[in-house]
C-alpha cells in the first residue's frame, strides 16, 4: 500500500499550489461540484499558475456515464494530474477517471483489468465523513446498480484536510457525513478483517467523534471541526484495511429508494445490526470466536463512555434522536423484499455474525416500520 501524504490544519488548502509544483504537474483536471464556486478557498485555485480544466458534470451517487465524460475530457485536454475537491462523490469520480483513463474506451471500463496509471491524485475533502481521501475504494452507479471499485493505486498521493472547507456544508449533510464516519469506525472495529492497525484507527476515530460531535454540530466549533475531520480520515483509513460490514451493505438501496443520504441510511441500520449481533453470538463467523467478538463490543461501548453494550446501542439511538435523524417510513410492503435482495453478499461476508435473508428481512422490518 502506498504512503499517502496527509496535510492537516485550518487553512491548509492554501498549500495546493506548492503541492502541485512538488509533482511537476503540467496541467490538471479539477473535479468538483457546483458548490465549489461558493467556497472562500476558491481563491487559492484562481492563484495557481498551472493551467487546469474543470469537470463538474456529475451528481451525488455518480453515474458511470458521467465518469466516462470525465475520462474523455481528461484525455482530450492532456491532463497529467487530478485534484478532487468535494465530498465522497467528487473524490470517487476522480478516482475512477484515474483508473479508467488508460483503458480501451471502446469497451466497458468496469470489465477491463485494473492497473496503476501513474496519474497523480490530490484530494481536498469538503465533508468530514467518507474518509475516501485515504481509501482505495470508489463507488459509482451503472443502470441503477452500485458498482464497488477497489485498487491500491486509488489511494490518493495527497490528502489536504482543511476544517475551514466544512463551513459551507449544509447542516443535514454535516450530520449524515459525521454519522457515516462513526459507522465506518465501528463497523471496521468489529469486521472479520480487522487487525491491530485498523482497530487502533477505529478506536481513535470513535473516541474523537464521541468527544466532539455536539460542539461540531451544534456550535460549529473550530477545534471540534478539525477533530471531526481527523476522525473521518482515521475511519477511512480503518475501512481501507477492513472494508465495511452489514450496516453499510444494507444502506445503499435504502438510500436510493427513500431519497436519504448515505450516512443517514447507514446510521439508522447500525444500531439494529449491532443489537441483532449481540443476541446471535452463536452465529459468529469470525475465526477469533464468540468471546473475541463480545470483547470487541465491550471495547466499543467503553470508548463510547457506556457501562454496557446495551447502553452503547441505546446511546447511538439517542444521538440519532438528538440529531433528528429518523428512519424512513415504509411506503410499500414489497420494499422489505426488495431491500433484502439488494444486499451485497461480499459485504456480508465481512460481518462477524452470519446474516441470511430472513434475518435481513427482520432487520429491515424493524428499521422502516
Q: Average pLDDT of the chain?
A: 96
Section 57-86 average pLDDT:
96
**Residue 337 burial class via C-beta count within 10 angstroms: exposed 0-12, middle 13-18, buried 19 and up:** middle
Whether the pLDDT of residue 186 is over 80: the answer is yes
Confidence category of residue 357, pLDDT binned at 50, 70, 90: very high
DSSP H or E run through 299: helix 290-303
**Which of 46, 252, 231 minimizes the C-alpha distance to 128?**
231
Distance in angstroms (rounded) separating the CA atoms of residues 127 and 178:
8
For the chain, state the CA radius of gyration.
20
Pairing mode, strands 145-150 and 137-142: antiparallel
* Mean pLDDT of the 24-52 span: 95
218-267: per-residue pLDDT in tens? 999 999 999 999 999 999 999 999 999 999 999 989 998 999 999 999 99
**Segment 268-307, tens digit of pLDDT:** 999 999 999 999 999 999 999 999 999 999 999 999 999 9
Which three three-digit cell numbers place residue 2? 502506498
- Rounded to whole angstroms, the Cα distance separating 342 from 145 reads 9
Does the pLDDT value for residue 52 go beyond 70? yes
The domains located in the chain, with CATH, are: 5-166 (3.40.50.1970), 171-367 (1.20.1090.10)
- What pLDDT score does 256 carry? 87
- Cell numbers at 179, concatenated: 454519522
Query: pLDDT value at position 347?
Result: 73
Nearest residue to 65 (alpha-carbon basis) of 11, 143, 126: 143
Unique residue bearing C-alpha cell 470466536: 289
pLDDT at 1: 56
Report the percent of the chain where pLDDT is more than 90: 92
Amino acid at each position: 500500500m502506498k504512503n499517502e501524504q496527509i496535510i492537516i490544519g485550518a487553512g491548509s488548502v492554501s498549500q495546493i499550489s506548492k503541492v502541485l509544483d512538488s509533482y511537476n504537474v503540467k496541467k490538471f483536471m479539477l473535479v468538483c461540484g457546483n458548490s465549489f464556486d461558493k467556497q472562500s478557498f476558491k481563491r487559492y485555485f484562481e492563484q495557481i499558475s498551472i493551467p487546469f480544466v474543470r469537470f463538474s458534470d456529475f451528481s451525488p451517487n455518480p453515474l458511470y456515464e458521467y465518469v466516462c465524460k470525465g475520462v474523455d475530457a481528461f484525455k482530450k485536454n492532456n491532463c497529467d494530474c487530478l485534484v478532487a475537491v468535494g465530498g465522497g462523490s467528487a473524490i470517487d469520480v476522480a478516482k475512477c477517471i484515474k483508473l479508467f483513463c488508460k483503458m480501451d474506451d471502446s469497451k466497458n471500463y468496469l470489465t477491463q483489468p485494473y492497473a496503476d496509471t501513474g496519474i497523480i491524485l490530490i484530494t481536498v475533502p469538503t465533508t468530514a465523513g467518507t474518509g475516501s481521501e485515504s481509501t482505495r475504494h470508489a463507488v459509482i452507479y451503472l443502470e441503477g446498480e452500485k458498482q464497488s471499485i477497489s485498487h491500491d493505486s486509488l489511494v490518493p498521493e495527497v490528502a489536504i484536510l482543511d476544517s475551514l472547507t466544512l463551513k459551507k456544508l449544509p447542516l443535514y449533510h454535516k450530520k449524515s457525513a459525521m454519522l457515516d464516519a462513526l459507522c465506518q469506525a465501528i463497523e471496521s472495529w468489529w469486521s472479520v478483517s480487522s487487525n491491530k492497525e485498523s482497530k487502533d484507527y477505529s478506536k481513535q476515530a470513535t473516541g474523537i467523534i464521541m468527544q466532539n460531535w455536539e460542539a461540531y454540530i451544534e456550535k460549529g466549533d473550530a477545534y471540534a471541526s478539525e477533530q471531526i475531520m481527523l476522525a473521518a480520515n482515521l475511519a477511512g483509513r480503518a475501512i481501507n484495511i477492513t472494508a465495511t460490514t452489514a450496516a453499510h451493505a444494507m444502506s445503499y438501496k435504502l438510500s436510493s429508494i427513500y431519497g436519504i443520504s448515505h450516512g443517514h441510511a447507514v446510521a439508522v441500520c447500525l444500531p439494529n445490526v449491532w443489537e441483532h449481533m449481540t443476541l446471535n453470538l452463536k452465529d459468529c463467523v469470525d475465526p477469533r470466536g464468540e468471546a473475541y467478538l463480545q470483547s470487541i463490543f465491550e471495547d466499543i461501548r467503553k470508548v463510547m463512555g457506556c457501562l454496557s453494550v446495551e447502553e452503547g446501542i441505546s446511546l447511538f439511538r439517542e444521538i440519532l434522536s438528538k440529531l433528528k435523524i429518523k428512519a424512513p417510513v415504509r411506503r410499500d410492503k414489497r420494499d422489505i423484499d426488495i431491500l433484502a435482495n439488494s444486499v451485497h453478499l461480499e459485504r456480508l461476508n465481512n460481518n462477524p455474525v452470519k446474516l441470511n435473508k430472513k434475518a435481513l428481512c427482520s432487520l429491515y422490518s424493524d428499521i422502516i416500520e
